[in-house]
Chain A
């Protein structure tokens, strides 16, 4: 089975993030594999181990994305592809990434493509579904279980806390939700072996794409951090007075009622 994983490098949101002039500062930020993509890598490895085949991890990013690809290789993926847009594109959005991936997949015979449900940075959740549309294959998002028998696939999908069971067939694109599996740590032998695994680097030129073909369809107006949490207020008086005051705050100050 030809299994592909779409992987994105993201900021580690557990580390401190600084924003200046509407941009996240790269210096000092920690980068990680998007956590939802880790579920995709893990699932891809498990499916390969069960059904045979090969796992290729693909990312659209920059030179530094090699680190995340190597980590996926160390977890057990077989090959990695870095589509480096550093020199060609100023900015991109979900459209850009999906278009580039469409071109990449044009001559590939993918049986299964896995991605994260969303990336934790911009959280559009669009790249996977867009790519499936372009490739003309079915897709299921936010999956929490994946069973493949021959061409037939049974999926459990998270729908706001409930489970929907979907039957479909290969080739297929899925996006992975928390609960699908427990991503492994890359083991020491895995890390050492990853050195020798193939990592192919492409530019959009290699995919016969121009900058204009993939120009972003959206424009980022501003990026800002959420307001700092303020100290709580303790209401005073007896219960009925407190309720009165609370309702008044919700109505007049917070304007949520």
Chain B
């Protein structure tokens, strides 16, 4: 048993923290206020090799592990939830499925530009009527000669407006038991018949692009099918398990930021002639926040470690996502409370943490879905 990070992991954490402090933090308020996707930050992150942490060098990656990637997401999330979410989605949902399930040719062609950060990828799973019920997917892909013709509608798709490739899930047939076969297909974003619009006015993670995709007779070659055509559903469940670790890490970053802001403010702020940090009412909040942040961190690290060891991590990823994101929400909420009236103001940032944290309890599987995943693992 060893709780220490490796030298490389510590260096990565420090590098990402320095970068986030210098290059992202000064823009975080503006990114939120203007709901602006920070393209220039993603270019810098690409230069630093952050977009390809968990992928091998041969595909343009940095040859790091899941834990290093989780550390990077935490550090970015600690200063800017919007950037953190787009980062986590680009790596875990946009690029990872190609790495997990792609053919050698698909990896060379589609994973390399995502891993070296020359392009962003997106994952189109959610539909207006298929959210938690991903099996209810209505989008169809029909074989036509050497191609698939895809029709349907996707919503709430992170990064799609800035993506070069979108992995789209679609019904490709029926199993013998009558259930739909759902497959994943790589669709270049500039395909004819593909319309991407980004009109959402969001509560939080406002700088992260969220788009709606309409597929109207989009034709892609059959070779763009990703992985086993019969196991599309299982594949994206696996993808989502991995994605949960990164969303958990993002929640951890926001929770950590909330704790730091609340602690600093509580020490500075004087009422009744004393720092409010000397009052037990405030101390108890800070003690709980600090404890929960550490527990969340342990769970995130454990889930990442299990994945790195090629051990089952589905349940632990769900624990981590559920606990870390709910911790983020509670910590942000308490941070606002400790700040009092100031906390309600954008300038103090903690109100943004709360708005950003709320998304994490919904995206990539709601808290309720996480509990279902856990219950299923318990044999319920």
Contact = CB atoms under 8 A, between A and B. Distances in A.
B62 interface: yes
Contact of B62 (A185, A189, A195): A189
Given A187-B48, A188-B50, A188-B52, A70 B11 contact: yes
B313 to A, nearest CB: 23
Contacts of B8: 191-192, 194-195
A187 B10 contact: no
Interface string B364-379: 0000000000000000
Given A188-B62, A189-B62, A189-B63, A74 B49 contact: no
A74 B11 contact: yes
B311 interface: no
B7 A188 contact: no
Most buried by A among B8, B10, B68: B8
B49 A189 contact: yes
Contacts of A189: 49, 57, 62-63
Interface string B254-274: 000000000000000000000
Contacts, number: 51
Contacts of B7: 66-67, 70, 195
Contact of B64 (A70, A185, A186, A192): A192
Interface string B38-79: 000000000111101100010000111000100000000000
B12 interface: yes
Contacts of A192: 8, 57, 62-64
Contacts of B18: 185
Contact of B49 (A70, A71, A187): A187
Interface size class of B (residues with CB under 8 A): 20 to 34
Interface string B3-29: 000011011101100110000000000
Contact of A188 (B10, B14, B53): B53
A66 B49 CA distance: 23
A198 B53 CA distance: 23
A191 B11 contact: yes
A188 B64 contact: yes
8 contacts: A70-B11, A74-B11, A188-B53, A188-B62, A188-B68, A191-B8, A192-B62, A192-B63
Interface of B: 7-8, 10-12, 14-15, 18-19, 47-50, 52-53, 57, 62-64, 68
Given A71-B14, A187-B15, A187-B62, 19 more contacts: A66-B7, A67-B11, A70-B7, A74-B15, A185-B15, A185-B18, A185-B19, A185-B48, A187-B47, A188-B64, A189-B49, A189-B57, A189-B62, A191-B11, A192-B8, A192-B64, A194-B8, A195-B7, A195-B8
**9 closest A-B pairs by CB:** A188-B49, A188-B62, A187-B49, A189-B49, A192-B63, A187-B48, A191-B11, A189-B62, A185-B15
